Amino acid sequence: MLRIIATRVVLGILTLLAVSILIFAATEILPGDVASAVLGQGATPETLRVFRKELGLDRPAHVRYAEWFTGAIQGNFGKALTNKRDILTSITPRLKNTLFLAGYAALIAVPLSVALGILAAINEGKLADRLANIISLATISVPEFFIAYLLILFFAVKLRYFPSLSTVFADMPLSKKLHVTALPAVTLTMLVAAHMLRMTRSSVLSIMSQPYIEMAFLKGLSRTRVVLTHALPNAAAPIITVIALNLAYLIVGVVVIEVVFVYPGIGQFMVDGVSKRDLPVVQACGLIFAGAFITLNTVADVLSILVNPRLRHPV
């Protein structure tokens, strides 16, 4: 089993490496380079050449890639072009904000959707199940910004329970922070909960047709006990995978929500970077996103291996 887990981890690292190459190559393919971006259209070929030499851009791509990647894994992403500040120091607080919001949403969404999914499976075909299905379908069908604006309209503008802008500072007390970010967290919850709920429900139900489930019913157990102790442990692997995917989405896919609520997270930072053609910033954000995505999926894979009784208790 250790070997299987080790393989997964190595595969994760290789994927990260491949993605980093893609990110670097993509920014490389874009027309114009950092030098022309900084100097603007008025630059003469002569100044461009001197500036490129100064930045080291005249060296071959693979050398620059190696330099960038070894720097990046040590936390050195270089300096932003626009304001010449160290990228790591500007990213760190924003990354913390993003992780805070993602964690907040996850704490609501994961227990809620798994519990509702199990509840729907226990009451398959009954009112509770249908209601859960219809509501979850509705929330995934509506675009996220629309939900966000609806929430702002009702809870911020009309009822004035929450602020419409989720501005946070480093020294804000936690209770204040939770209050300010409640609306984006709820929006994100609605976005990811549906997927997890449906997956939990269908994984549990697919197990319900197994002979050992019939056996459990013939032992005279209640439907609740059959679902919780006999179906759920065997349905765990796909549920874990879908939770990991959604957690990754909470970190990576929040750009729109951050823009709507003007939340100082890494997504907004990346959008700024793109609009200002600040390539090192875009590269750094891309690599962090990829890292988060791959790490969460690798963790999910490892957990799925760990919950498999055949691998945990070899013959």
In the complex, which residues of this chain contact another protein (CB under 8 A)? Answer: 209-212, 214-222, 225, 229-230, 233-234, 309-310, 313, 315
Taking the complex as a whole, the smallest distance from the CB of residue 64 to another protein amounts, in Å, to 44
Report the candidate in 263, 208, 254 with the shortest Cα–Cα distance to residue 232.
Answer: 208
Region class of 173: left (phi > 0), else alpha (psi between -120 and 50), else beta: beta
Other C-beta atoms lying within 10 Å of the C-beta of residue 35: 20
Looking at beta carbons only, is 119 or 228 nearer to another protein? 228
Give me 187's structure tokens.
């929006």
Looking at beta carbons only, is 59 or 219 nearer to another protein? 219
Looking at beta carbons only, is 174 or 218 nearer to another protein? 218
Q: What are the Cα distances from residue 232, in Å, to 128, 212, 240?
A: 19, 13, 11
Taking the complex as a whole, the smallest distance from the CB of residue 118 to another protein amounts, in Å, to 16
Taking the complex as a whole, the smallest distance from the CB of residue 289 to another protein amounts, in Å, to 35
Sign of the C-alpha dihedral computed for residues 221, 223, 224 and 228 taken in this order: positive
Taking the complex as a whole, the smallest distance from the CB of residue 286 to another protein amounts, in Å, to 40
Looking at beta carbons only, is 92 or 229 nearer to another protein? 229
Q: Any idea what DSSP says for residue 315?
A: -
Looking at beta carbons only, is 53 or 225 nearer to another protein? 225
Looking at beta carbons only, is 108 or 221 nearer to another protein? 221
3-state helix, strand, coil in the chain (%, to 5): 75, 0, 20
Strand partners, 20: none
Taking the complex as a whole, the smallest distance from the CB of residue 122 to another protein amounts, in Å, to 13
174 burial via Cβ count (<10 Å: 0-12, 13-18, 19+):
exposed
C-alpha span between 292 and 251 (Å, rounded): 7
Taking the complex as a whole, the smallest distance from the CB of residue 195 to another protein amounts, in Å, to 24
Phi, psi for residue 86 in degrees, rounded to 5: -65, 130
